Chains A and B, each alone.
Chain A
Amino acid sequence: MDVELAKPFIKAAVDVLSTMAMITPEAGRPYVKKNNVAQGDVTGLVGFTGEKSGSVSITFDKALAITIVKNMLGEDVQNIVEDVKDAVGEIVNMVSGQARAGLSQQGYSFQGSTPTVIMGDNHTISHVSSGPIMAIPFTAAFGAFTIEFCIE
C-alpha cells in the first residue's frame, strides 16, 4: 500500500501553490515510471524517513517557476536565479511539511530532510528509492509541473 499516501502530497501541492503563488494547478492522470529520474528545468527534492522512507520531488517548467517567483515576490525580484531557487525550495518544504502533517493524522510519522533545489534546463535527478515511482502531472496557467513520489 502506498498509492493512498500520494493524496496528501497532491492536496498539499495544490493548497500551497494556490495560497502562496496564486496559481491554480489541475492534476492530470498519475502514471508509473521505473527509472529513478525526474526531468525538467527546476526541481525541489525532499527525502523523508520514518515508518517508510522515500522521496518527493516537484519539477517545474522554467516559465512556471518564474511566474511563481513573480507572484510571490511581486516586483521585488532581485536575482531571478537565486529567487527561483529560494522560492522552489520554500514551496517544496511547505508541501512536504503540510503533507506530512496530513499523513500524521493517518498515523504515519515521517521526518523530512532539508529540500535540495536543482536547476538546469532538462536536468535529471535521482530518487532515493528503488521501487516504482508514481508521477502526477499538473498543468497551470503558465506551465506544467510534476510531482514524483516514491516509497521504499
Chain B
Amino acid sequence: MSILDGFRDKDFLEQITLLNDLAANRPAEALPGLLELFENPIGDSSVDSMVVIALNALLAENEPYAVECLGQQDCKLRTLCIRTAGEHRFASAVEPLTRLAEETQDQDLALECLTALARINDPAALPAFRKHLASTDPLASGLSIEMCGHFRDVSALPWLKEVVRRSLTGDRYQTCDVPTWKAIQALGDLATDEAVQFLASHLHHKNPIARRLITDVMVELGEKAIPALLESLYSPDEDVRILAANVIGFTELRSGGNGLVDAFDRGQADTANVRYAFYEAMGRIGTMKNLVCLMDGLSEPDELLLMAVVGGLERHVNPGMIRTLLDRLHRDDEQARRLAEAVISSKAVNLFQTLHDDEPAARQLMDVLVQSRDDEIHDAFRQTLERIGSDRSAADLQRLAEAEAAQSTGRRALAVDDSRSMLALHRAILGDLGFDVALAANGQEAMDHLLSQGSVDLVVTDMNMPVMDGMQLVEQIRNDPDHESVTIVMVTTEKEASQRGLAENAGVDAFITKPFRPEELKEMLGKLIGN
C-alpha cells in the first residue's frame, strides 16, 4: 500500500499536511504516487504547487532518475527535472542538458537548460553556451555570453567583439541591450590582451550606459588594462584620450601615472581638454613624476587647468611643493593672483593651511577668499582657519565674517560634476553671479539634493558621471513638475551631434563645451536667466 493511496479523497488540510511531510522526509516509495499527481493535477493550485515541491524534494534525492527524465518527451516532467538538476547541481546532468540545449529548437526549453547548466557551473557545458551566444532570445544570448566570460572561453572573443560592434550600428546605440551589457563584462572576464585592447578602443562608446560599463570594467581590470589605456593616450581622437586618462586616474596605479607623464611629454595633451584630464588623473595617482608635471602646470594661464593642477597637488602636499608655491605667490604678478584664486576655488584647504604660515601668501589668499560668494567655500576655509589657531588666523576669521555679512543672495544654483575641479570652478563662477551654490558629484546626489532642499533656479551639469549621468538627471528633473522651470545647462566635451540631440530631447536648455572661459558661461547664463 502506498502512502498516497486515497489522496484525492482526503480533505485539503490532510492533503497539505501529507505533502509537507513528504517534502520534509522524502520517502522514495512516494515517487510513483507523486508522479501520478503531477501528471494529473487535483485542480487546487495550492495543493498542486505542494505536489511540485514534494516531487522536487524527492527528485533531489534521486539524481539517476531525475537525469533519466531529462531524455523524456513529456515536457512538464522534463522541465521539472531540468530545474531540479540545476538547483541541486547534478554533475551527471551536464552531459544530457548540454546535448538538449544544443539540439533543441525550442527557445524556452533552451533557456531552461542553459539556466540549469549555469547553476551547475561545469565548463563541460561550454558547447551549449557557445551554441546560444548568438541566440535571438536576448536572455539566452545574455546568459551564454556571461557564462563564456565566466569560463574564460577565448573562442567566444570574436562574437563578443561583434556584439559590441553591432550595438553601434544604425540607431541601436540609443539603448544598451542585454547581450551588449553581458559582452562588455565578459570581455573584462576574458581579460586577454585582445579583449582589453578592444575595450580600450571602445571607451568612447556612443551609448552612455555602455560607456559607463566599459569604464567600470577597465577600472576593475586595473594593472591589466594599463598598457591598452596608455596606448589610447596616443589616439588621434581627443575624446578617447580624455576617457583613457580618466580611467587611468580612477585605477590610481603608479604604472598608469608614469605613462601619463610620458604621453604628456610627447605632446599628447595638446588641447586644454586633454590636458585637464591628464592633470586630474595625475592628481589622483601622485607619483613623483606626476607631481613634477603638476608643478610645471602651475604656469598654466587657463583658470580651469590651474584648478585641476592645484586640486591634484592638494592631495599630496609636501614641503618642496609649498616652497615652489610660495615662490610663485611672492612674485605678486597676474599668475600669482590666478594661483591664489585656484587654491580658494578648488577648496585646497591643506595647501591653504600650510601657506597661511607665510604672511604675504596668507594675505593674497584671504583677499580672494573674502571676494568669494560661495557659502561652502567660506565654511571650508573658516574651519581651516579655526584649526590653524594662530593670531593671524583669528584676525582672518573676523575679516571673513565681516565679508559674509556684507553679502546676501536670493537665487539658487546646483552644479553637478564628478570632477572636483570642475565643481570648484562652477562654484566660483556661479557665486560671482550672486547664486547660492550647492554641489553634487553625480546625478543621484543632485536628485537627492533637489528632493531634500527643494528646487533651484539653475542646474549646471556634466554629461558623463558615475552612478547617474547627466542625461538621466535631466530626464528626471524634467519629469518632475516641481522642477519644471529650472534652467538646465549641460557642460560637455562630447562633440557628436547625436549626444547633444539626445540631451536636447531630454530637456537641456543650453550647452557649453569644455574648456570654456568663465566669462563665456557667465555670458550664456546672463542671456538665459538674466544677470
List A residues at the B interface (Cβ < 8 Å): 1, 3-4, 6-7, 29-37, 39, 101, 104-107, 122-124, 132, 134
B residues 85-114 in Cβ contact with A at 8 Å: 86-88, 111, 114
Q: Residues of B contacting A122 with CB < 8 Å?
A: 479
Task: Give 15 new A-B contacts, CB below 8 A, not counting A34-B469, A107-B86, A123-B479.
Answer: A1-B119, A3-B178, A4-B115, A4-B143, A6-B139, A32-B180, A33-B176, A34-B467, A35-B472, A37-B472, A39-B475, A104-B53, A106-B83, A124-B479, A124-B480
Q: Residues of A contacting B444 with CB < 8 Å?
A: 35
Q: Does B249 contact A (CB under 8 A)?
A: no
Do A106 and B87 contact each other (CB < 8 Å), given the known contacts A30-B139, A35-B443, A132-B181? yes
Interface hub of A7, A32, A134 (most chain B Cβ within 10 A): A32
Nearest neighbor of A130 in chain B, beta-carbon distance: B467
Partner of A3, one of B119, B182, B480: B182
Enumerate the 5 nearest inter-chain pairs by beta-carbon distance, A residue then B residue, closest first: A107-B87, A35-B472, A31-B175, A4-B115, A32-B181
Q: Residues of A contacting B119 with CB < 8 Å?
A: 1, 106-107
Q: Interface digits, B475-494 against A, CB 8 Å rule (1 contact, 0 not)?
A: 11001100000000000000
Q: Are A35 and B86 in contact (CB under 8 A)?
A: no
Q: Residues of A contacting B480 with CB < 8 Å?
A: 124
Q: Residues of A contacting B80 with CB < 8 Å?
A: 105
Q: How far is the CB of B43 from chain A (nearest CB, A)?
A: 16
Chain B, interface size: which category? 35 or more
Partner of B178, one of A32, A37, A101: A32
List B residues at the A interface (Cβ < 8 Å): 49, 52-53, 56, 80, 83, 86-88, 111, 114-115, 118-119, 138-139, 142-143, 146, 175-178, 180-182, 209, 212-213, 443-444, 467-469, 472, 475-476, 479-480
Q: Are B178 and A106 in contact (CB under 8 A)?
A: no
Q: Residues of B contacting A30 with CB < 8 Å?
A: 138-139, 177-178
Q: Residues of B contacting A29 with CB < 8 Å?
A: 138, 175, 177
Q: How far is the CB of B478 from chain A (nearest CB, A)?
A: 9
Q: Are A1 and B52 in contact (CB under 8 A)?
A: no
Q: Are A105 and B181 in contact (CB under 8 A)?
A: no
Q: Are B83 and A107 in contact (CB under 8 A)?
A: yes
C-alpha spacing A107/B119, complex, angstroms? 10
C-alpha spacing A33/B86, complex, angstroms? 29
C-alpha spacing A47/B393, complex, angstroms? 53
Nearest neighbor of A6 in chain B, beta-carbon distance: B139
Q: Are B53 and A32 in contact (CB under 8 A)?
A: no
Q: Residues of A contacting B467 with CB < 8 Å?
A: 34
Do A4 and B138 contact each other (CB < 8 Å), given the known contacts A39-B475, A39-B479? no
Nearest neighbor of B443 in chain A, beta-carbon distance: A35
Q: Are B118 and A1 in contact (CB under 8 A)?
A: yes
Q: Are B83 and A35 in contact (CB under 8 A)?
A: no
Q: Residues of B contacting A124 with CB < 8 Å?
A: 476, 479-480
C-alpha spacing A105/B87, complex, angstroms? 9
Nearest neighbor of A108 in chain B, beta-carbon distance: B87
**Chain B binding surface SS class:** helix
Q: How far is the CB of A104 from chain B (nearest CB, A)?
A: 7
Do A105 and B175 contact each other (CB < 8 Å), given the known contacts A3-B139, A122-B479? no
Q: How far is the CB of A110 from chain B (nearest CB, A)?
A: 14
Q: Residues of B contacting A123 with CB < 8 Å?
A: 479
C-alpha spacing A35/B476, complex, angstroms? 10
Do A7 and B139 contact each other (CB < 8 Å), given the known contacts A34-B468, A107-B83, A124-B479? yes
Partner of A34, one of B83, B118, B212: B212
Nearest neighbor of A137 in chain B, beta-carbon distance: B175
16 residue pairs of the A-B complex, CB under 8 angstroms, read A1-B118, A3-B182, A6-B139, A7-B111, A7-B115, A31-B175, A31-B177, A31-B178, A33-B209, A34-B212, A35-B443, A35-B444, A106-B86, A107-B83, A124-B476, A124-B480
Q: Are A4 and B111 in contact (CB under 8 A)?
A: yes
Q: Are A105 and B139 in contact (CB under 8 A)?
A: no
Q: Residues of A contacting B114 with CB < 8 Å?
A: 4
Q: Residues of B contacting A32 with CB < 8 Å?
A: 175-178, 180-181, 209
Q: How far is the CB of A61 from chain B (nearest CB, A)?
A: 15
Do A3 and B146 contact each other (CB < 8 Å), given the known contacts A30-B138, A31-B176, A105-B52? yes
Q: Residues of B contacting A36 with CB < 8 Å?
A: 468
C-alpha spacing A57/B212, complex, angstroms? 24
Q: Residues of A contacting B88 with CB < 8 Å?
A: 107
Q: Residues of A contacting B118 with CB < 8 Å?
A: 1, 4
Q: Are B212 and A1 in contact (CB under 8 A)?
A: no
Q: Are A106 and B115 in contact (CB under 8 A)?
A: yes
Nearest neighbor of A106 in chain B, beta-carbon distance: B83
Nearest neighbor of B121 in chain A, beta-carbon distance: A1
C-alpha spacing A37/B472, complex, angstroms? 9
Q: Are A1 and B143 in contact (CB under 8 A)?
A: yes
Q: Are B468 and A35 in contact (CB under 8 A)?
A: yes
Q: How far is the CB of A4 from chain B (nearest CB, A)?
A: 4
C-alpha spacing A106/B84, complex, angstroms? 7
Q: Residues of A contacting B138 with CB < 8 Å?
A: 29-30
Do A1 and B146 contact each other (CB < 8 Å), given the known contacts A7-B111, A30-B138? yes
Nearest neighbor of B147 in chain A, beta-carbon distance: A1
Q: How far is the CB of A30 from chain B (nearest CB, A)?
A: 5
Do A34 and B476 contact each other (CB < 8 Å), given the known contacts A3-B143, A29-B138? no
C-alpha spacing A101/B143, complex, angstroms? 22
C-alpha spacing A104/B180, complex, angstroms? 29
Q: Residues of A contacting B212 with CB < 8 Å?
A: 34
Nearest neighbor of B210 in chain A, beta-carbon distance: A32
C-alpha spacing A37/B115, complex, angstroms? 28
C-alpha spacing A4/B112, complex, angstroms? 9
Nearest neighbor of B111 in chain A, beta-carbon distance: A7
Q: Residues of A contacting B177 with CB < 8 Å?
A: 29-32
C-alpha spacing A32/B480, complex, angstroms? 23
C-alpha spacing A106/B53, complex, angstroms? 10
C-alpha spacing A19/B114, complex, angstroms? 29
C-alpha spacing A134/B139, complex, angstroms? 11
Q: How far is the CB of B402 from chain A (nearest CB, A)?
A: 44
Q: Residues of B contacting A105 with CB < 8 Å?
A: 52, 56, 80, 83
Q: Residues of A contacting B443 with CB < 8 Å?
A: 35
Q: Residues of A contacting B475 with CB < 8 Å?
A: 37, 39
Q: Residues of A contacting B142 with CB < 8 Å?
A: 3
